[in-house]
């Protein structure tokens, strides 16, 4: 098993939360409803398995990159995020989440890379192994009609 350390970078294609937070704060919905709508996105994940790559996207905006640990073996990728108790608006909070994903057989665990953008979206990508076309030669045996 080996660890993958997430890198932190800005990814301009993920601006959903930047648009969601202001619109949710300006809405006329009660605070409980607004909180429930935002909470629904917390720690949400998506798995994409295409012809070229395997990709996991996980919402971890409550964690810093150094609070995230990613490990992989031949069959699974495990993401653990944890932060110690810190002061929040209504007291103190500590959080821990662990997600485990099954790796497809044709993904090389050594090819896994991770990155995290400024909105807290963790992305783990793995390349598919090259499928080699294995041709098996088949010899043709010739038998004369007398041999049948």
Q: Residue 78: how many CB atoms within 10 A of its CB? A: 15
| Per-residue confidence (pLDDT) for residue 42, from 0 to 100 | 67
CB 17 within 8 A of CB 37: no
Across 68-95, average pLDDT: 92
Range of 9's domain?
A: 2-29+52-130
Most confident of 6-20, 34-48, 57-71: 57-71
Average pLDDT, the chain: 78
| Per-residue confidence (pLDDT) for residue 15, from 0 to 100 | 42
Q: Can you spell out the DSSP letters for 57-125?
A: EEE-TTS-GGGEEEEE-SSEEEEEEEEEEEEETTEEEEEEEEEEEEPPTTB-GGG-EEEE-TT-EEEEE
Model-level pTM? 0.61
Q: Within a domain: residue 98?
A: yes
Q: Within a domain: residue 110?
A: yes
Q: What is the pLDDT of residues 11-36, one digit of tens each?
A: 434 444 444 444 444 444 444 444 44
CA-CA distance, 61 to 53, in Å (whole number)?
24
CATH number at residue 104: 2.60.40.790
Q: What is the pLDDT of residues 112-146, one digit of tens each?
A: 999 999 999 999 999 998 777 778 888 888 887 76
How buried is residue 139: exposed, middle or buried, by Cβ count under 10 Å (0-12/13-18/19+)? exposed
Q: Within a domain: residue 45?
A: no
Q: Within a domain: residue 11?
A: yes
CA-CA distance, 118 to 94, in Å (whole number)?
21
Q: Within a domain: residue 97?
A: yes
Q: Within a domain: residue 46?
A: no
- Total count of domains within the chain: 1
Q: Within a domain: residue 40?
A: no
């Amino acid at each position: 098993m080996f660890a993958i350390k997430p890198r932190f970078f800005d990814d301009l294609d993920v601006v959903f939360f930047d648009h969601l937070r202001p619109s949710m704060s300006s809405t006329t919905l009660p605070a409980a409803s607004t909180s429930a709508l935002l909470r629904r996105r917390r720690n949400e994940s998506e798995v994409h398995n295409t012809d070229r790559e395997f990709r996991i996207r996980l919402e971890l905006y409550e964690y810093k990159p150094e609070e995230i640990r990613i490990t992989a073996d031949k069959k699974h990728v495990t993401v653990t995020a944890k932060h110690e108790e810190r002061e929040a608006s209504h007291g103190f909070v500590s959080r821990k989440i662990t997600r485990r994903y099954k790796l497809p057989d044709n993904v090389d665990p050594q090819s896994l890379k991770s990155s995290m953008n400024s909105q807290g979206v963790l992305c783990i990508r793995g390349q598919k192994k090259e499928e080699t076309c294995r041709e098996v030669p088949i010899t043709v045996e010739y038998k004369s009609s007398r041999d049948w």
